[in-house]
A and B are shown apart, each in its own frame.
Chain A
Amino acid sequence: MSDAIFMRFRQPSVLPGFGLTLGFTLAYLSGIVLIPLAALILKSAGLGWADIWRIATDARTLAALRLSFGASFIAASINAVFGLLLAWVLVRYSFPGRRLVDAMIDLPFALPTAVAGIALTALYAPNGWIGQLLAPLGLKVAYTPIGIVIALTFISLPFIVRTVEPVLRDLDREIEEAAATLGASRGQTLLRVLLPSLMPAILTGYALALARSIGEYGSVIFIAGNIPYVSEIAPLLIVIRLEEFNYAGATAIAALMLAISFTMLLVINLIQTWNRRRFGHGS
């Protein structure tokens, strides 16, 4: 019976090993992802629904969650636009120092996030290089949600660039030329031909950037100021609960974040699948 189901998914291929690879995938996912997450859910489940609800609807938790997800959305959106632009410049033009710019894009990956946070804070603090220029305008960046968005934009930049870049590079120049011969202006070619072709890659990068931003801790806590209800992100709230030895409270917030993140990524994935199917790929 289970054998029959197993065989149904099995497709003949020149590279055998469906059983082995699927088995390994499941075992690996379980060990690395599922078991820790299950433990997390189990721990918070011990709390009882009433308690979870109380923690979830606590004003401070809600404010932290709203800030975390809101700032992440804004940061990922900013990067979707400017990351695309960066990828475009890197792929389409050759200029002196291109390799250097190319290497710089990955720096946010390599830099310890705390270093990034401290550097950004130093720049944007009211007496920092950039902060002192903005201060007379009444614009406060460090120790406000704006600072959080800047930190998240910094650390999630590589995702969009690196996912869009290879797709853009493989994009056939002929389709742009075809659009031009059919009378499309540059703007029309960009909007109607190029962007739709890049959309799957942009979405993937967007999802990755979003996920990374939601979980980010190190760089944000330096620039955020961490004022409860104003600039306190959810991961920080978890750490605070842990320091209070309130493990149940910490896991409850963690489980909430997990649920929201999972739902969001699932939705993005569904959009991708729908997109692909619309283009006639896949089954």
Chain B
Amino acid sequence: MDIRIEELSKQFGRYPAVENVSLHIRSGELVALLGPSGSGKTTLLRLIAGLEQPTGGRILFGDEDASRKSVQERNVGFVFQHYALFKHMSVADNIGFGLRVRPRAQRPRRADIRARAAELLDLVQLPGYGDRFPAQLSGGQRQRVALARALAIEPRVLLLDEPFGALDAKVRKDLRRWLRELHDKTGHTTVFVTHDQEEAIELADRVVVLNKGVIEQVGTPDEIYDAPASPFVHGFIGEASSLPVTLSNREVWLEDRWTGLRCNGTGEALLFFRPNAVDVVEECTGCIAGVVVGSRRVADRKRVEIEIGKGRHRIEIDLPADRSAAERHRIAFRPTNWHIYPSAVGRVAPARALVDA
């Protein structure tokens, strides 16, 4: 099911949770809504489901306007962060609930509902769990039951609100891979909300990055990671360090020192780079140099914190784990992959760094 969101807004009192959001979700796509808490991602998902009423804009399911329809009529599968299973019903009854509450004419026979529940339990890899109660299942199992329950009504779109948020790291990883496989198998249009950028990048076909109720960027995981459209996206996705710089003569200057980078534009700007995308250099005419103030081990690299210049800006770079980086030592480096954004006070707006050093 194709979903078109047109200039959608939602205000809670005077607080705008979602502002003028337009988005096109293609049929069969797996889309992540990513953002920090308070970014409006859950509100957007609930608006699509019909659990919230928009204050402006439209939502189209295919060609039909869904925004005037009730939750019940929209036929969406919704999976909640805390499962929201019916505790007084067995697993099979939970899964069959959506079929049992249908009007009499469309209601499948009792035996068919049982069979459908058993089939879905196979799909979510919990065969034979039908007679248990939610209290007897682990968190990961409960979430899979919740998913089976949502799939039972043959939804036009599957919506998941932080589906793995309440699970521990190991189960999360397994379920993530499993959800991807399930999506490829069933082909439902799926939208899920997460604040975990790793999860969004690993799982989704496309990622929608939200901040303060507006969309910052929509793109494939590669686009989001390699070409972040704004300082916010750069800072939110993956690790990032930033420094205030000045642009002049197609050169990027940090205080009174040339960084060795070239870029169009003039005036104040912000330089962003990732800790792992730097070359450490010995002596340089164009580089960034600072004093080591701390280091710690991160996976197979050593992350070093460096204090730079009179402004005492602190940034982080990665070094090989065996390289020594004693405190108070001077260290110089040059980013190999970086982006320039207009600073908050800057007057110029260079679109993107163009020339490498």
- Contact status of A178 and B101, CB under 8 A, knowing A185-B72, A280-B134: no
Inter-chain contact B84/A281, CB cutoff 8 Å? no
Q: Which residues of A contact B102 (CB under 8 A)?
A: 183
Q: Does B97 contact A (CB under 8 A)?
A: yes
Inter-chain contact A172/B82, CB cutoff 8 Å? yes
Beta-carbon contacts under 8 Å, A170-227 to B: 172, 174-175, 177-185, 188, 192-193, 196-197, 199
Q: Does A245 contact B (CB under 8 A)?
A: no
Beta-carbon contacts under 8 Å, B68-113 to A: 71-72, 74-78, 80, 82, 84-89, 97-98, 101-102
Inter-chain contact A174/B134, CB cutoff 8 Å? no
B192 to chain A, nearest CB (A): 15
Inter-chain contact B153/A177, CB cutoff 8 Å? no
Inter-chain contact B84/A172, CB cutoff 8 Å? yes
What is the total number of residues of chain B having a CB less than 8 Å from a CB of chain A?
32
Q: Which residues of B contact A179 (CB under 8 A)?
A: 86, 97, 101
Q: Does B150 contact A (CB under 8 A)?
A: yes
Inter-chain contact B76/A197, CB cutoff 8 Å? no
Q: Does A278 contact B (CB under 8 A)?
A: yes
Inter-chain contact A178/B88, CB cutoff 8 Å? no
CB < 8 Å neighbour of A184 from B51, B77, B87, B97: B97
Q: How far, in angstroms, from A179 to B135 measured CA to CA in the complex?
A: 18
Inter-chain contact B84/A280, CB cutoff 8 Å? no
Q: How far, in angstroms, from A182 to B152 measured CA to CA in the complex?
A: 9
Inter-chain contact B87/A182, CB cutoff 8 Å? no
Q: Which of B75, B88, B102, B135 has the most CB of A within 10 A?
A: B88
Inter-chain contact A196/B88, CB cutoff 8 Å? yes
CB < 8 Å neighbour of B84 from A174, A183, A185, A188: A174
Name which residue of chain A comes closest to B70, CB basis: A180
Name which residue of chain A comes closest to B49, CB basis: A181
Interface residue tally of chain A, by bracket?
20 to 34
Beta-carbon contacts under 8 Å, B159-180 to A: none
- Contact status of A181 and B101, CB under 8 A, knowing A278-B88, A279-B135, A280-B133: no
A223 to chain B, nearest CB (A): 40
CB < 8 Å neighbour of B82 from A174, A181, A196: A174
CB < 8 Å neighbour of A281 from B72, B75, B135, B153: B135
Inter-chain contact B80/A180, CB cutoff 8 Å? no
Name which residue of chain B comes closest to A184, CB basis: B101
Inter-chain contact A177/B135, CB cutoff 8 Å? no
Q: How far, in angstroms, from A180 to B74 measured CA to CA in the complex?
A: 10
Q: Does B297 contact A (CB under 8 A)?
A: no
- Contact status of A181 and B51, CB under 8 A, knowing A174-B80, A175-B84, A175-B86: yes
Q: Does B136 contact A (CB under 8 A)?
A: yes
Q: Which residues of B contact A185 (CB under 8 A)?
A: 72, 101
Q: Does B149 contact A (CB under 8 A)?
A: yes
A179 to chain B, nearest CB (A): 7
- The 18 sampled A-B contact pairs (Cβ below 8 Å) are A174-B82, A178-B86, A178-B146, A179-B101, A181-B50, A181-B51, A182-B97, A182-B149, A182-B153, A183-B72, A183-B75, A184-B97, A188-B101, A196-B88, A199-B88, A279-B133, A280-B133, A281-B135
Instruction: Give B contacts to A, CB under 8 Å.
Output: 49-51, 71-72, 74-78, 80, 82, 84-89, 97-98, 101-102, 132-136, 146, 149-150, 152-153
